[in-house]
Structure 1
Amino acid sequence: MTVLGKPLSRVVAIAVVVVLAATAVIWYVFAASTGKHVTAYFTGAIGVYPGSDVRVLGVKVGTIDEVQPEGKQVKVQMTVDRGVKVPEGASALVFAPSIVADRYVQLTPVYHDGPEMADNTSIPVERTATPVELDQLAKSVDEVAKALGPNGANKNGELADLLNTVAANVKGNGSAMNTTLKDLSKAAKTLDGSRKDAFGTVDNLQKFTGMLAANDSQVRQFAQLSQDVTKFLASEREDLGTALKELATALQMVNTLVKENHDSLKSNVDKLAAISQVLVNQRAALAEFLDNAPVALNNGVNAYDARTATLQSRIALNELNNPPILMLCKLLQNGAAGNDKIPDNVVESCKHLSKVIDGTLPLPSVAQLLEGLQKGQPPALPLPLVDVMKPAIEAGDK
């Protein structure tokens, strides 16, 4: 079978495709035109009706579709216009422009960035708010008036007495109160100028409390130890009191001793200062003594022969590296100063031996002499030594 020369099945298929496409276009147009559906739950919705506005910053962005009571709350369904972005966690507030005007629902806050509220989203009662009604305000004022009236706080005239007392205290102090308020204003400005420091202080306190929280076990242990110490001191308060009394007596005796021996103590302190200064001046020698004394004492202990009760010693002639005459002259010259027992001619002889002492005519040392004698070959003396020794011998004869 054909329709206008075309197979019937082909015509049916084309018609079905056209109908489906038209349906999709119509659905998209109507769905997009209706906008985004949002449901909010309020504790009350007085003055809110279907057709009321949905606003953002006071600008209409949608319409309320339905208002239904559900138990102790009210369900308000609304539609937000297409293209209006609402943040995901937005709140819904009922606003009353005036006492008699229709109210509207305000969505807040304004969208800046982040996730958007999806279609068919519900706003719980925790994120909604309604204004205080006039009858509720009147009821609250009536309750306050009754509480302060003759059957309440002013039953025996207490409130009247309070007001009279306040009036008497304030009377004549207007200028002082004015000055106080001005000073408080200046203080508030100062705090406002130092808000960064105040916030820094708060941050530091937060870090400190965080540190205490992180070390809670140690803090508790410290508190427990402090409590134990306090209990111990409390249990020993009698002994502690006795000790403090005895300490006070001892301090009094020390005070008396210091007063009675002031001059002696001052003299001793002055002498001690001089001795301390000597120790300071000789600290290098003291350090050397402390380094060498243990070795010397150890050598003394090792040299003592308990069997014979004697000290065993040996002269180490090999350690004498200077010639004998040189050693003798140096000893005489060092000991001649301020010593009248050494004859002058002896010192004079050493002066003539200055060439030998200065090393011009080197003489063999004691170690060299001993080594030569052991080998049977004593070291030879330098030939000019006779000429050098002659003036010294002549000076000694005089």
Structure 2
Amino acid sequence: MRGFGAANRPFTAIVMAISAIAGATSCATSQASAANEYCAIMSDSVGLYVGNPVTQMGYPIGEVVRIEPSSAEVKVVFTLNEGRPIPEGVRAVTRSPSILADRAIELVGNYDGGPKLKPAECIPLNRSSTPLSIAKIIGSATDFVNAINPDGSTNVADALRGIDEAMSGQGANANAFLTRASQLADNPDQTISEMGQITRNIAELTSMLRDNREPLKQILIDLPQTGPYAVQAVHGVSDLLKPLPELLALLNDLEVELGSELQIALDSVSELVRIASPHYKGIANILNPLPRFISGVNGEPVGATEGGLAKHLNNHIFNLLPWRPPLFRIPTPNGLLACGFMNASAPGSCADVAGRPYAVDVALLQYVLTEAQRR
């Protein structure tokens, strides 16, 4: 027995050494794994499984190692590649590459300085997001449809009926609209050119407003002073327009009463103008001497001693129709005294009758009118 124990001592020592090494390695691995473990508190873990990737900007940086559900939330434990820094305010989002694929945890936020997320520290629920499940989406759509069209309601049918009635007979218009849209899509150059022209016009307008900013500002500043004058001008225009109805009525009466005659006269004038228009050069030649004739009549050439014909005619007395005021012969005992008195008031109104010492010829009408004018 003693010999057997002595023989197995080396083997026992080897086994114990291997066990110690394995235990140390296991502890070291466990400690290293715990040093890279992080967690996120989420509202659900639909589509998340152990081994699913943890990504940042779509690049895998770790994987899910545990999922620990609770009554109102889920704790998802994951590991990260060694040496990967994560900011303390990072967000955790569950994303799906497609509608059928498993989900992954996306860490939103790159580290560029500041505090880091510590191992075993969990991302709180207020910094995590999960997409709605298909069931929830379908349920929400069902609730929406039920709200629009509850049991026994004809809302959808009535809406479709109204659309059908509105679209009835609009085929030609729809065809024309689609045709124009197709032409526009085939050749949009003209529309683009018009839009470019509009843009250029707007740019020119804004440039003009910018260049004339000071005058426009001054106009606005002067409005309190110029406003009353503008109001007076408007009142003046209103006064000018008041006779307009009467003028229009007059024109209407002229058209009613003399419309035919005016039309005939205008037609005749247009015909005369048409006939005379080919001879405009001859008419102009006939009228060319008139200014010289008028100048000569008015006194040209310069330095003429007698003046022009017009001056001569204006300064000449033509006795074509001799006339004198009516005379009344009045007897008087002293004709010379009476004529002297009357001629002093109205010269030439009285004359002594030759050969008759007791009578005078008196222009009675001239004398009376002269005295009446004086008084």
Q: Provide the TM-score with structure 2 as the length reference.
A: 0.37
Larger radius of gyration: 2
Q: Provide the TM-score with structure 1 as the length reference.
A: 0.35
